[in-house]
């Protein structure tokens, strides 16, 4: 189980690293497009399309690593006033709601990806990106995020001890 968890962690860290490289590439191509568009009156035909799909990569494919690192913005005004047991219960509830939502999005994204692949859908542009490629980011990204939510909720449950002894438990 530990090796599967370690493999999953390395996978989502790799997706996050690729996301950082994608962001760098996006900055470079947007700057390039701005220079050639306004400096030479020769806009690129591909920059907008490529960067539109890459922003989906950044949002979907890096979310699981952000969740793993617990880097999401959170409002804790009310939860900080609760006891440790209630805080753990809320984290488990949030994890389960996150799993349900992400599985729904992964299923929907998978259906869209399959439909686009079967029907050969393409972006109507000179670049003509097969739509199954950007659509595939949704089931992969949300599937990874669902698994991370599940791991988080499971980890919280593992640390909760019914006898009230919460020594060493993280909230």
For residue range 111-137, what is the model confidence (pLDDT) as tens digits?
999 999 999 999 988 788 899 999 999
Instruction: Report if pTM > 0.75.
Output: yes
**Contact present, 156 and 149 (Cβ < 8 Å):** no
Q: Structural domain of residue 155, as residue ranges?
A: 2-159
Residue 18 inside a domain? The answer is yes
pLDDT band at residue 168, thresholds of 50, 70 and 90? very low
DSSP state at residue 77 = T
How many residues are listed for the chain in this entry?
171
> In this structure, how many other beta carbons lie within 10 angstroms of the beta carbon of residue 170?
11
Residue 10 inside a domain? The answer is yes
Residue 75 inside a domain? The answer is yes
Axis crossing angle, helix 2-40 with helix 132-159, rounded to the nearest 10: 140
* Residue 163: strand, helix, or coil: coil
The number of distinct structural domains making up the chain is 1
């Amino acid at each position: 189980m530990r090796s599967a968890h370690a493999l999953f962690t390395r996978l989502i860290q790799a997706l996050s690293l690729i996301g950082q490289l994608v962001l760098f590439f996006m900055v470079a191509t947007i700057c390039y497009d701005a220079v050639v568009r306004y400096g030479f009156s020769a806009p690129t035909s591909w920059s907008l399309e490529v960067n539109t799909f890459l922003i989906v990569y950044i949002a979907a494919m890096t979310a699981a690593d952000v969740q793993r690192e617990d880097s999401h913005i959170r409002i804790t005004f009310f939860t900080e006033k609760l006891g440790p047991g209630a805080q753990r219960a809320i984290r488990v509830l949030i994890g389960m709601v996150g799993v349900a939502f992400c599985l729904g999005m992964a299923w929907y994204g998978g259906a869209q990806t399959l439909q686009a692949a079967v029907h050969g859908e393409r972006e109507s542009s000179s670049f003509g990106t097969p739509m199954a490629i950007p659509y595939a980011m949704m089931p992969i990204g949300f599937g990874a995020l669902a698994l991370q939510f599940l791991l988080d909720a499971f980890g919280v449950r593992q640390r909760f001890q019914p006898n009230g002894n919460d020594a060493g438990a993280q909230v």
